[in-house]
Amino acid sequence: MKFAIALFSAAHAPSSRRALLFAQAALAGGHEIVRLFFYQDGVYNASDAVVTPQDELDLPKQWRAFITEQQLDGVVCIAAALRRGALNGEEAKRYQRDAVSVSAPWELSGLGQLHDAAQDADRLICFGGA
């Protein structure tokens, strides 16, 4: 089965961990992930600026490792990212900001990427959100 996964929750939310565990289990079960899409507060999972306390799971680090190791498509909604100050090099330059907090393997792109992933997948699974 082909899954598209959308995450709407910040890194400290339980649903972020559940999404990662689901994605890992899906691949371990022989399924395919066509895209991971991080939207709303989910963009914080892609931020290099998040500092996790030593006694907590560093989910942004775990997401980065998972996406890199599995060579997955990790897309961060550009509008949600800009609103939350999560910028890659290109957007930091465009908006004349010094801070870059989103880097590879993440890609900033539009909400259309979620739509495309939903069309390519057998199932769209969403975690978090209101």
SS3 41: helix
Active site residues per annotation:
77
Residue written as token pair 């907090």: 101
Check if the beta carbon of residue 114 is closer than 8 Å to that of residue 7: no
User: E-strand spans in the chain?
Assistant: 2-7, 32-38, 74-77, 106-109, 123-127
* Ramachandran region, residue 53 (left: φ > 0; alpha: ψ -120 to 50; beta: rest): beta
